[in-house]
Amino acid sequence: MKLSNNSFPYPVLSASDSLSFENEFVFGDSFSVDVSQEQVGQSDFELVIQYKLKNDDLQKMINDGTALVLAHLESSLTSYRKAISFPENKDTLRLSVDAESVTKNIELTVLVVARIDIPEYTNSGFNSELFGEDYVVKKIMRGDILAFEPTVEIELQMEDSAPKSVQTFIKVSKSKNTSMNVNLDDESILIEIPEAAYKIYAQMQNAKEVKIANFSLLIPALMIAVDDIKDEGSTNDDYLWYKELSMYIFESLTYSVSTLENTSSLVVAQQLLNNPIIPAFEVFNEVDER
């Protein structure tokens, strides 16, 4: 999520460290973010995200529930995308990140958004020299951005011994087709699913639902990838996914070229995901026991 003040037709507060006529808000008003991280175990991280808001009107809107602060995290090479709101009346969010769901780098954008429709939005911090006195923004809609910190890229400080997850090289995207397709012609394995299915997939928050969905998508995609690695005529050997999967198959799973050729791609795909079929079906038992 790459944003700039030019992205909006109305004044939006952001970081500002200089006095300029072009600033949309008066000098001294700003919105900024500090981020620190701590590794918890081998593959989990905790990000500590703290925002600093210098604008009385926006702070009042957050306090009374008219606006809220969101942290948006995204991994560009995977399907990982998450938006989490800050706790009520708190300027700090502690967020757990499973490094196996992302690549080493993750993009963070922190936003202040409208929580309700606002027919007329005014702010005493608007730059009157730029917008004139008593400037009013008409029809701010629920979810519209009122302030943001420009996207920062966070490099997760992974221990060298931490294994790289297969899922970091797989990305799920929407397609206008009515069936699933797997595209290997890129740095990551791209799983394309129909728009209607993608809409449901993108809104999944429950970890159990995600586990079942990922199982149904990743197994066939990895089977196709393994078939490609078996193919001596493959032209994909320069891609990141090909190099990493090949290394894992031949080194960690200790396959040779001949044993890989004689092993079902379905079996190898399951091994790449640490044999997920039993955990996936155990989810149904957990649902039945409610």
**Is residue 163 very low, low, confident or very high in pLDDT (cuts 50, 70, 90)?**
very low
Percent of residues, the chain, with pLDDT higher than 70: 80
Q: DSSP of the chain, one letter per residue?
A: ----GGG-SS--B----S--TT-SB-TT-EEEEEEEEEEETTTEEEEEEEEEEE-HHHHHHHHTTSEEEEEEEE-TTSS-EEEEEPPTT-SEEEEEEEGGGS-SEEEEEEEEEESS-EEEE--TTB-HHHH-TT--EEEEPTT-EEEEEEEEEEE----TTSPPPGGGGEEEEEESSSS-EEE-SSSSEEEEEEHHHHHHHHH---HHHHHHHHHHHHHHHHHHHHHHHH-TT-S-TTSHHHHHHHHIIIIIS---HHHHHTS-HHHHHHHHTTS-HHHHHHHHHHHHT-
Q: How much is the pLDDT for 261?
A: 95
Q: How much is the pLDDT for 77?
A: 58
**Is residue 16 very low, low, confident or very high in pLDDT (cuts 50, 70, 90)?**
low
pLDDT digits (tens, 9 = 90+) for 215-267: 788 999 999 999 999 999 999 999 999 999 999 999 989 999 999 999 999 99
Q: State the Cα–Cα distance between residues 57 and 63, nearest whole angstrom.
A: 10
**Is residue 281 very low, low, confident or very high in pLDDT (cuts 50, 70, 90)?**
confident
pLDDT digits (tens, 9 = 90+) for 70-128: 999 887 656 678 889 999 889 999 887 765 566 567 788 999 999 999 999 999 999 99
Mean pLDDT across 139-156:
87
Out of 60-69, 84-93, 98-107, 275-284, give the one with best mean pLDDT. 60-69
Q: How much is the pLDDT for 183?
A: 94
Question: Is residue 18 over pLDDT 60?
Answer: no
Q: Phi-psi category of 143—alpha, beta or left, where left has phi over 0 and alpha has psi -120 to 50?
A: left
**Is residue 159 very low, low, confident or very high in pLDDT (cuts 50, 70, 90)?**
very low
| Matching residue, tokens 């008409």 | 138
Q: How much is the pLDDT for 161?
A: 33
pTM for the model stands at 0.53
